[in-house]
Amino acid sequence: MMALSVIRTVLRRNLFLPSVRMVSWEEKQYWLQMSKTQDVYPKQTHNKTDHFSEFGPLLSPAVFKTGHVKDNFTGRDSDGGGQTWGDNSEIAAPPLDQIAAESVSSSLSNSAAGELLPTTSYLGVSLLNPSRPNTTHVDMIHPADIFKIGHIRNPSIPSVSKVLAATKSEESKAALARWEKEKIAVLGLEGFKQLKADTFACGHTLHDILETYMQTKQLPKASDVPDSVSKRHLVSISQTVRQFDRPLLLESAVIHPECNYHGIVDCVAMVGDTLALVDWKTSEKVKNNSAALFDNPLQVAAYMGAINRDERYNRLGNLTKGAVVVVYNSGYPAMVHMFNTQQMEMYWEQWCHRLQMFHDMT
């Protein structure tokens, strides 16, 4: 009878207790380290107006020692989604309230396009330049100096970011508006403005760190990084960035002469043994598949199409591979999402639809 009572108690508790969350190796190491230096359960002193607290605890670089962070790059030309580096086996899927993936219109009004753009059809422009050879490895060309062409502002030419923002689905626009409303409710209007300013500053710091690393192969010391979020960005990229080598372009402006848009490309370099156009992104939430990247692959495709047509980059030939690198605000190891030529062609077609939609609207 005693044994039966114990079994009943266990079953009753299992039915009503919530499921246990999976804990990664890195998180275990973090809490072990914290337990040695301070109270793991300190008194609640969280201030809702301190928006940096939303990025999670500051992780020590020692948590991500070489040998514990796996580089599981498993092929580049598969039929699946973008491949990643990093051990994703214990990563939870993005929450359900995350912004839905962008919907792309499959049909456009030819008559409206004809009225606004009588001589231009963006849907017929190809990703690759037929007058250039395809470049898949840096050894195929003879790079001189690294491309760093400055951007000259021209209000008549829209940016890639502006086009994507203007053509988001109504669902995504509504989700973004809800997010802003929630942040303002917690931080106040001035606090929200400061959050955006701080986020922009952290992104600028990260790009500076990565640009310096690509040229010198040196990362700064954590003590030299100005703020706590940027320190965690440094931890996040500390291992993954070592897969990048031989840059051909860093923070350089591009213009598509036929489609009439511009952008600034973060990087073109060797990623492992593949030459790729690289875009650096930061995130609070885990993005462990291509669907979670939303418009990021379209942005890479837009940059690739422009660089393949911009005469200033003729000696680069045709770039055919892309990469989105997600750097985490929590310090979790950055992930590299690689996209092959077939995938880039697909995203280019989607980008052309969005570009056509933008011009039909204006």
Residue 145 annotated in active site: no
- The separation between CA 110 and the C-alpha centre of its own chain, rounded to angstroms, equals 33
Under a CB-based contact definition with an 8 Å cutoff, are residues 308 and 128 in contact?
yes
Which residue is catalytic, options 70, 139, 181, 281? 281
Q: Which residues pair with 338 in a beta bridge?
A: 83, 323
- Of 168, 231, 266, 321, the active-site residue reads 266
Rounded-to-integer distance, Cα 54 and Cα 199, Å:
12
Please, how many CA atoms are within 13 Å of residue 25, restricted to the half-sphere of its CB? 13
Long-range contacts of 104-108 (CB under 8 A, 24+ apart): 104/350, 104/353, 104/354, 105/353, 105/357, 106/353, 108/353, 108/356, 108/357, 108/360
User: How many other CB atoms are found less than 10 A from the CB of residue 270?
Assistant: 18
Catalytic, out of 231, 279, 287, 295: 279
Say which DSSP state 17 is in. Answer: S
Q: Is 279 designated active site?
A: yes
Paired tokens of 122 = 């963006």
Tell me the β-bridge partners of 319.
135
For 186, what's the count of Cα atoms within 13 Å in the CB-facing half-sphere? Answer: 16
Q: How far apart are CA 337 and CA 277, in angstroms?
A: 12
| DSSP character string of 244-262 | EEEEEEEEEEEEETTTTEE
Quick check: is 193 catalytic? no
283, 292 Cβ separation under 8 angstroms: no
Residue 152, judged by CB atoms within 10 A of its CB (0-12, 13-18, 19+), counts as: exposed
- Give the angle 38-44-50 at the CA atoms, nearest 5°: 100
Rounded CA gap, 288 and 89, in Å? 10
- Backbone phi, then psi, for 299, in 5-degree steps? -65, -45
Which residues are marked as active site?
266, 279, 281
